[in-house]
């Protein structure tokens, strides 16, 4: 009688263990099937409103986007998984809202987009340059440039010292916002100058105007594209020949 009870209890224990094992195997198999059916992938999502013209290389660096994992089946085929070398120099062609996925077709070459973002505290100013003046055409949107100025030497009264002149670094680390054709052509129909738009401070803009005019006083007017974040002082003393390189 005792042996029969022991055998019954042992059989029950074996069945319980076997049942538990089968349940665990089923659960693991279900989890595996679920993962296989919904493989997670990394995608870039806007963390805040992104204005058009932002460089691909600045999306994550400036906190505009972050990486999230989502089921592969739930995201479009053209979603951007990461910013690689091919996307770093491209710009966003349209604005995005927080939470929107960043899709590859939204990134275009700077020349294909009319948008750019003016950095905080600065304004955009455009100047016309020849190919030689813009490093044989190697200056592009997203480049950083140094600006040099050629000038005539002046005496203490501001009078030019004959034909004596010089050249000097005027400013450096200037961001190029866009590059486009000016529309001016020579007799052969080739473009003679290129319009280069720079992000500059008020003082830098004043120096650029002076340098572009060669110090000549001919009442030339230049416009600077101002934003809500531009920092301007209407009472600035401006720039003259004596304070140009200060």
Same domain, 138 and 180: yes
30 belongs to a structural domain:
no
pLDDT of residue 202: 93
Residue 195: half-sphere exposure toward Cβ, Cα within 13 Å: 12
Q: pTM for this one?
A: 0.51
Assess whether pLDDT exceeds 70 at residue 114.
Answer: no
Dihedral over Cα of 131, 108, 197, 54: its sign: negative
151 belongs to a structural domain:
yes
**Rounded Cα distance, 72 and 200, in Å:** 43
Both ends of the chain: CA-CA distance in Å?
A: 109
Same domain, 128 and 198: yes
Same domain, 108 and 148: no
Same domain, 127 and 191: yes
15 belongs to a structural domain:
no
Same domain, 203 and 184: yes
pLDDT tens per residue, range 205-232: 988 888 887 656 666 788 888 888 889 9
Identify the residue whose tokens are 């003016």: 118
pLDDT tens per residue, range 19-59: 565 555 655 555 455 445 568 899 999 999 887 778 899 99
14 belongs to a structural domain:
no
Cα torsion through 213, 217, 218, 224, rounded to 10: 50
User: Any residues with CB less than 8 A from the CB of 77 and at least 6 apart, and which?
Assistant: none
166 belongs to a structural domain:
yes
189 belongs to a structural domain:
yes
**Rounded Cα distance, 163 and 168, in Å:** 17
The mean pLDDT value of the chain amounts to 77
Assess whether pLDDT exceeds 70 at residue 82.
Answer: yes
**Rounded Cα distance, 47 and 90, in Å:** 19
Tell me which residue range forms the domain holding 71: 40-112
Burial 58-93, CB ≥16 within 10 A → b, else e = bbbeeebbeeeeeeeeebeeebbeebeeebebbbbb
pLDDT tens per residue, range 137-176: 778 777 899 998 877 766 666 666 666 567 778 889 999 8
Q: Taking residues 131-136, what's their average pLDDT?
A: 79
**Rounded Cα distance, 163 and 171, in Å:** 25
Same domain, 96 and 151: no
Same domain, 78 and 154: no
35 belongs to a structural domain:
no
CATH of residue 98's domain is 3.90.1210.10
User: Any residues with CB less than 8 A from the CB of 74 and at least 6 apart, and which?
Assistant: 38
Domain count, the chain: 2
Same domain, 98 and 146: no
């Amino acid at each position: 009688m005792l042996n029969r009870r022991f055998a019954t209890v042992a059989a029950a224990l074996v069945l319980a263990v076997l049942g538990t094992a089968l349940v665990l195997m089923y659960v693991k198999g279900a989890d595996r099937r679920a993962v296989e059916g919904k493989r997670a992938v990394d995608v870039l999502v806007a963390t805040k409103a992104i204005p058009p013209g932002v460089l691909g290389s600045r999306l994550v660096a400036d906190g505009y986007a972050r990486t999230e994992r989502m089921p592969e089946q739930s995201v479009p085929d053209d979603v951007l998984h990461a910013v690689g070398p091919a996307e770093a120099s491209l710009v966003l062609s349209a604005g995005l809202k927080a939470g929107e996925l960043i899709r590859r077709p939204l990134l275009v070459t700077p020349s294909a987009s009319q948008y750019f973002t003016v950095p905080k505290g600065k304004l955009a100013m455009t100047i016309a340059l020849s190919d030689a003046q813009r490093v044989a055409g190697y200056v592009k949107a997203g480049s950083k440039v140094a600006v040099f100025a050629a000038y005539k030497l002046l005496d203490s009264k501001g009078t030019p010292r004959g034909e004596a002149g010089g050249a000097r670094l005027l400013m450096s680390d200037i961001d190029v916002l866009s590059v486009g054709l000016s529309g001016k052509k020579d007799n052969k129909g080739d473009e003679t100058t290129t319009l280069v738009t720079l992000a500059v401070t008020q003082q830098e803009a004043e120096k650029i105007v002076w340098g572009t005019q060669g110090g000549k006083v001919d009442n030339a007017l230049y416009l600077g594209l101002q934003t809500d974040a531009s920092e301007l002082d209407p009472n600035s003393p401006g720039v003259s020949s004596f304070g140009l390189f200060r």
